[in-house]
A and B are shown apart, each in its own frame.
Chain A
Amino acid sequence: MTKISRRGLGGTFIRALMSSAAIATVVFGAAAPASAQETLQVWFTKAFYPAEDKALRDVVEKFEKKTGVKVELSLFSPEDVVTKSVSAVEAGTPPDVGFGVTYDFRTTGKWAFEGKLEDVSDIIEPLKDKYLPGPLSTTMLFNSKANKKAYYAAPVQMQLMHINYWIDMLRDAGFKEADIPDTWKDHWDFWCDKVQGALRAKGQRVFGIGHPASVQASDTFYSFHMFMNAYNVQIVDDNGNLTLDKPENRAGLAKAIADYANIVSRGCSPASSVNWGDVDNNLNFANKTTVMTHNATISIVAAQFDAMNKPENTPEQREQARKNYYENIRVRGFPQKPDGGQLPELAAVKTAVVFADAKNKKRGKEFLAFFLEEENLQTYVEGSLGRWVPVRKAAINAPFWTDGKDPHRAAVKKQVERGIVFFPFTKNWKFTVVNAENVWGRATARVAKDGIKPEEAADELIARVKQILAN
């Protein structure tokens, strides 16, 4: 066998490397598939319920028939649609249209600020009168590249915060629904001391409140914002400037932290709530470890609705689910504020976007406009069985919400009528980072687990928020 010299080996290696790179380029980066048909890439969150996905597919089918454009629809889990979209935007290869149920929490404002989204004002303006007053304001966003504010996203649906409780467990503890106080402190004490105490006395190892307290769960910061609203804490002004550090807001923040942490520290909530993900408060409620829980969306009861219609369940399981849905679980809003005033509903508006770097922006906007037509959007939102709340006037007044046949949807409609407010990140996108880091959950944990004073935790929180805003 011929000896190959060291120089020969090095040359061979380099030729091999270059050949590999060339072949890889040809195989993976070569010509796009030959196709005469125009295509549109659409990424959506995969729904919890088949009816929602079916409604979307129907919209896609109608759009394809109308325009002759082939829609490449991809459905992802709520987490995946965000991570994939973020990666695609970073790589400069986003889809044409995107819809994620946590886009608003995590990315919409940031993308708008960085000029990664297409201005969709021409779609929204004709629809303005059809929307409820508040939701549209959350998609009027600032683009620092274009130095303007415009509609950079379209509101699709929204979620509210609800209190869910087991009526049968309440009865088992010796109470009626009318016994539930509507005043702030008494409300939380009722579940914690009276209901939990009574059930524990019967030997049941249960907890009064399913109280998300982790940094992983979006439920934590959502619920904590409700507590802050209860104390009239203003985090930012209308221009997005921080006002949390003002004395009255700092004082309110400390009280909110104290109240939130107190539920954890006195054992009213499972200890593992400091580690909960977004589904864990649902699970703990469903298996009756907790008597009451607060949850964004009515997914808890919607799961029972789903179970009562699932053909793979036994008749007994379906009957139990029906009983749970109509008789055993109640949905309501938060109690009154500590000052006795009505606590407004905190809404998170879910947004669909057209990406600025999309290959087919024109068709993307056409698709979005088509999806937002009343009939299409209403069918899609109603497919979620009440989990998502409409952002349109006609839709929220439709029989689905108003015919009185469904107690939970009726409760949700009542909550909408109480008035809705929105998250600070709709005015300052950097609060998406603040929420992602969940400085709120960290502050309450510092009080509940480390025992520091709420005022100290408030100061730490404000300092960290300022750091994040400055970056």
Chain B
Amino acid sequence: MAIAGAGAAATTKRSAMSRQSPLTNERTVAILLVVPYMIVFVLFVIYPVVYGLYLGSGARSYRRLFQDPVFFSTLTNTVIFLLFAVNVKLFAALLLSGFFLRPERWIRWLSVLFVVAWAMPSIPTILSFRWMFNPEWGMVNNLIFYWFRVDGPGWLTERHWGLLLASVVHIWKSLPFWTLILLAARMQIPKEYYEAAAVDGARNWQQFLYITWPSMRGIYLTSLLLSTIWSLGDFNSVYLLTGGGPIDLTQVLATLGVRYLRMDQIDVALASVIVALPAILPLVWFMMRRLSAPGEENAR
């Protein structure tokens, strides 16, 4: 009787639902709410990615890419740029996060100024660097000539100076962001740990080594991975500063595609982007794995 009653109730409920207007049907509403996002996603993500993969899928494109001497110097530059810029930036962010944790008011004001570099638009700021470091009339070399009566270095006309400057610009621009991330992580560490350590006579470096670093290690590694992925795609710091020059000597993977586009070799441009995927995808996978792992494993 109870089962028959339950069955009847379920049948009644299904009949009631089927008699409902489509607009009030929960599933239909869900679809309608998702559709606008999906349209944009399909048109501006799925379609371009698929079409790009299709354009860059020809073997001939990769043959032309690998035959180009610029490609291998680009790979070298990319590795140097990542190793130097990302590690210096994260290390500096780690140190600065400790500095900005201090309570003094002037440090708080300084932190506001510090963040401005990150907040300002890239194009005018990096172009300002380009003008400042112009070998002939840039402010820097003019000051060098004025003070020392010698011509300054070829900041944008020598490979090593160009790469160094691009790294400096990249660090200058993104350091505030990572400092804030690590600062937020530091602020989660209970003060009592430090007080207890101080009572036990631990010095600053010992407090860092046994309290700060173990607590921050996880977020530091995640930041390192994320920064590496983002820096691999940092177009502005190189393109706006050196244009990949002189003579394509400061090209990195992020800017190389534009070089081929300017040469009307769309397929090779896309091939140069696709070759970066074997480097990016493992990083992304590893990072997602870290983020989705529960609690302690993520902290490590």
Contact = CB atoms under 8 A, between A and B. Distances in A.
A275 B243 contact: yes
B266 A272 contact: no
Nearest to A87: B266
B185 to A, nearest CB: 34
A16 interface: yes
Interface in A71-111: 82-83, 86-87, 90, 106-107, 110
A271 B154 contact: yes
Interface string B28-57: 001100110011011100000000000100
B137 A289 contact: yes
B105 interface: no
Interface string B135-170: 111000000010000000010111000000000000
Interface string A266-300: 00001110110100000010000100000000000
Interface in A399-447: 433, 436-437, 441-442, 445
A274 B263 contact: no
A23 B43 CA distance: 11
B248 interface: yes
A12 interface: yes
Interface string A441-471: 1100100010000000000000010010001
B136 A271 contact: yes
B243 A436 contact: no
A2 interface: yes
Contacts of B288: none
* Count class of interface residues, chain A: 35 or more
A353 interface: no
B31 A15 contact: yes
Contact of B245 (A17, A214, A289): A214
Nearest to B31: A16
Contact of B30 (A12, A28, A86, A289): A12
Interface string B58-82: 0010011001110000000000000
A215 interface: yes
A4 B55 CA distance: 40
Given A87-B266, A449-B247, A8 B67 contact: no
A2 B67 contact: no
Contacts of A146: none
Nearest to B36: A20
B64 A471 contact: yes
Interface string A8-35: 1000110111011101100010000000
Given A16-B31, A270-B136, A471 B38 contact: no
B35 A20 contact: yes
A265 interface: no
A270 to B, nearest CB: 5
A216 interface: yes
- Secondary structure at the A interface, as helix, strand, loop or mixed, is helix
B195 to A, nearest CB: 47
B134 interface: yes
Nearest to A273: B157
Contacts of A87: 266
Nearest to A275: B245
Interface in B7-24: none
A15 B136 CA distance: 62
Contacts of B134: 272
Given A272-B156, A275-B245, A16 B264 contact: no
B214 interface: no
Contacts of A471: 60, 63-64, 67
Contacts of B191: none
Contacts of B158: 449
Interface in A149-204: none
A8 B246 contact: no
Contacts of B31: 12, 15-16, 19
Contacts of B30: 4, 12, 16
B203 interface: no
Contact of B247 (A17, A215, A277, A467): A215
A21 to B, nearest CB: 6
Interface in B200-251: 242-243, 245-248
11 contacts: A12-B34, A17-B42, A21-B42, A23-B39, A90-B55, A214-B247, A272-B135, A289-B136, A442-B247, A445-B247, A449-B158
